[in-house]
Structure formats: structure tokens, C-alpha cells
Amino acid sequence: MDKFILHGGRKLSGTIFIGGSKNGTLPVMAAALLAKGVTTLLNVPHLMDIRTMSNVLRVIGAQVYGKGSTFKIDASRCNHFEAPYDLVKTMRASFYALGPLVARFHRARVSLPGGCAWGPRPVDLHIKGLAALGADIRTEYGYVEASTKGRLPGGSFEFDTVSVGATANLLMASVLAKGKSRLINTAQEPEIAFLIRFLRKMGACIRETRDGLEITGVRELRPVRMTVIPDRIEAGTFMAAACLAGGRITLKNCPVEDLACAVDVFEKAGARIHASKDSLVLEGPGTVRPLELSTAPYPGFPTDLQAQIMAVLALGSGTSIITDTVYSDRFTHVPELNRLGADITLQNNTAVIRGVRELRGAQVMATDLRASAALLIAGLKAEGKTEISRVYHIDRGYEKIEEKFRGIGARIERIKDESLF
């Protein structure tokens, strides 16, 4: 397993080009299953999770070719309506196959995602929602099996918790239904808005209502060509790094509008930010101000930036409080940040961060994607050498992260697995 060696303490300055969104790409790759023919996606990031989703589509019988950041998915000859355990266990988003398979082929067998590095992450809303849309659905031997006689009838479903994944799955299931569907209390994340634009371009009939979405099923959808939105979490991660390390970074191709809440939080922490339509300049503060914040579904502060802002506040000039209201258990970065000298304690889903004067390099372990990003951010500020093991977690969701950080002055190198022995 590769590891990163960092030497902290340098200011970060320069320009970074933000890549395509991981969480924007994954659902539209699955949505390509809804139409015969070749879907073309531009600005696809090179990430492990994208490779896993490509393999899910290949198992189903789609042909997937990637050249540079352009992906072509030909879903003309799908013949195996299953997403197997081996793939779904490595990436929950493989579960996105469920909705499109039921919609177009009227049957699906998708493995339950199984355990996760943090928290319980159930799929009950996907299952209950699909049943409400008219699918026969049961869970047996670790697999969810869903079928319909002909087209899915369509129906109404109200989410009791806002779920990005279940909103995407039910949307993809309902676009080819016989009748109308109403989805109430749907997620409004930019990645969902992108999926809606994508499905509409395919020919889907989706109307935004006061409390959610109304979908009128159509008989057929056509394949489309579309550019993936930039990754707001990648942008937020670099903002956090510059906020802590100091210096001045410019983010190009930055989804500024989607980051409104994060911009507000970084400004409250003391950063100076100038943003235009798709570019953002952040100047780190001399001293990070303490904050009290909670994560929430969009447009709230994203849980996917919770670990990164915690790394920043570890060096705040007072005590900060962070509550994660989306995932009560997403705190595996806390003991690792403490190894670097942070003073963070947990009370249920709330972290109390007592700002310290300095962080010191240490050996730490990446435990999940965003936790690893927090360790990178802290390591780039810490005095001396930090070694982060298990960086495959970071490779799931950040493209060329060490190159991008080196480009703004960080000292970071990847030690390849083979050279470890």
C-alpha cells in the first residue's frame, strides 16, 4: 500500500485547476444504462471509484471506454442485470445500478453494500422508495432483488431523511415509469441538480415542485453527451489546506455557487476570499478563528468537508465545536489528528476542538477518503515529517492530489508500495 511523506510548514501559493466531480460522475454513469446507444461523458476524473463503477457497468454488459477524461458508455447490449458483492462492497455508489436496471430491464439483483469505515449507512430508503414506485422488492442472502411486470407503475414517496443516493436511485427508476411519480423531501445537492439536467437531456420529464420532484415517465430515453460538473469537495479541500497553511491560492474551474456555505465558513475562520463566476482566490489568515458549525444537507455545510475544516480548526485561537448531523459516526480522523498534536474530544456526534499552538509530524493512517484529506491538510502545516499510510483511500476520490499540492509549493511525495519492502 502506498504512503505519503510530507514535510510541513510551507505556505501554499499558486493556481489549481479543479477536476470533474466524483459524486457527480457516479450517478450519471449509472444513468447511461437507461438508454440504448453510446453516452459520452467529458471531464471525468481518473479515480478508483470511477474505475469501480466502470466495472459494475461492464458486468451488466455495457461497454465502457475511457480516453483521457472522456468516457463512452455503450449500454446497447446489457444482458446481466446484477451488481455483484465484490464490487458493491468496495464502493457503495455501485448501488446506483438498482434504479436504472429496474427502469429499463424491469429486474435487478444488487448486492447490499455491507460495512463501511464509519457509521451505519443503510439503504432502507432506496428499497422502500422503489417499492412505493411499484417494484416487487425483497432482500435475500445479502442481495436486493427487484422486478416489475413491464414498466414500473410509478408512485409517491416521501423521504423521512434527506438522502442523495436514494434520491438519485428513485429518480433514475421513475423516468421510464408508466405513470407519474412524486418524490417528496428530495436531496438538492449540486450532484442531484446535475443528474436532473442529465436525465432531462436524455428526454426525461422532471418537474421541480414546492416540496420535491414530479416525474412523468416516458417510453424511451436517448444517450447524451455531457460535461461533468467540477468537484466542489476537491475545491473545498484545497481551500481548507490554504486556510491552514497560509498563502494565497487561486482555484480555476471552481464551482463557486455550490460552495456558498463553505465560503462563509472559511471567511468566518479568517480567510479572505474573492470569488467570481468560476474562479476563487483564498488568502489564509494569520490566525485561525474558532467556530461553531454543523453539517447539513445542501445548501448546508457538507459532511464531506467536515474532517478538513476540523484539521483547520485544530490550530484555532480558541475552542471550536463541530456537529455532524448527516453522519453521527464520521470521526475516524479524530484520533489521527490527535496523533499530530491536536486536542479534540468527541461527545456523540459533536467534536470539541481546543485549538493548539502547533502540530507536529507523526505517523498516521488514512481511514477513509475525507479523513485522509484532513490528515494531508494537517500534515502540510505540522512541523517536521508526517507519514500517512493507506493512501488508497485518498486515491478513491482525489485525482493527482500530490501533484496538485506540489504545484502550490507543498513538500509531499508518494512512496510506492514496492519500494516499501
Q: Which stretch binds ligand EPU (CB under 6 A): 158-166, 254-262, 349-357, 399-407?
A: 158-166
Q: Is 261 a catalytic residue?
A: no
Query: CB of 136: closest distance to ligand EPU in angstroms?
Result: 19
Neighbouring CB atoms inside 10 A of 124's CB total 12
Site string for ligand EPU, 351-380 (x = CB under 6 A): ------------------xx----------
Query: CB of 191: closest distance to ligand EPU in angstroms?
Result: 6
Query: CB of 319: closest distance to ligand EPU in angstroms?
Result: 26
How far apart are the C-alpha atoms of 89 and 83, rounded to whole Å? 10
Query: CB of 231: closest distance to ligand EPU in angstroms?
Result: 9
How far apart are the C-alpha atoms of 127 and 235, rounded to whole Å? 33
Angstrom CA distances, 23 to 57, 68, 160, 161, 327, stand at 16, 19, 22, 19, 17
Applying the rule CB under 6 A, the residues between 79 and 118 that interact with ligand EPU are 92-93
Instruction: Name the β-bridge partners of 387.
Output: 5, 363
Catalytic one among 116, 205, 243, 254?
Answer: 116
How far apart are the C-alpha atoms of 324 and 262, rounded to whole Å? 15
Nearer to ligand EPU, 155 or 165 (CB): 165
Q: Which stretch binds ligand EPU (CB under 6 A): 122-130, 283-291, 343-351, 374-382?
A: 122-130
Instruction: Name the β-bridge partners of 252.
Output: 17, 279
Closest CA to 251 of 223, 232, 269: 232
Q: What are phi and psi of 339, to 5 degrees?
A: -65, -25
How far apart are the C-alpha atoms of 401 and 407, rounded to whole Å? 10
Site string for ligand EPU, 382-401 (x = CB under 6 A): ---------------x----
Query: CB of 370: closest distance to ligand EPU in angstroms?
Result: 5
- Can you state the angle between helices 232-245 and 260-268, rounded to 10 degrees? 10
Helix (H) or strand (E) holding 371: helix 369-381
With CB atoms as reference, the residue minimizing the distance to ligand EPU is 165
Q: What are phi and psi of 215, to 5 degrees?
A: -120, 125
Site string for ligand EPU, 305-344 (x = CB under 6 A): ---------------------xx-----------------
CB 359 within 8 A of CB 382: yes
Residues near ligand EPU (CB under 6 A) are 23, 26, 92-93, 121-126, 161, 163-166, 187, 191, 303-304, 326-327, 369-370, 397
Residues labelled as active-site residues = 116
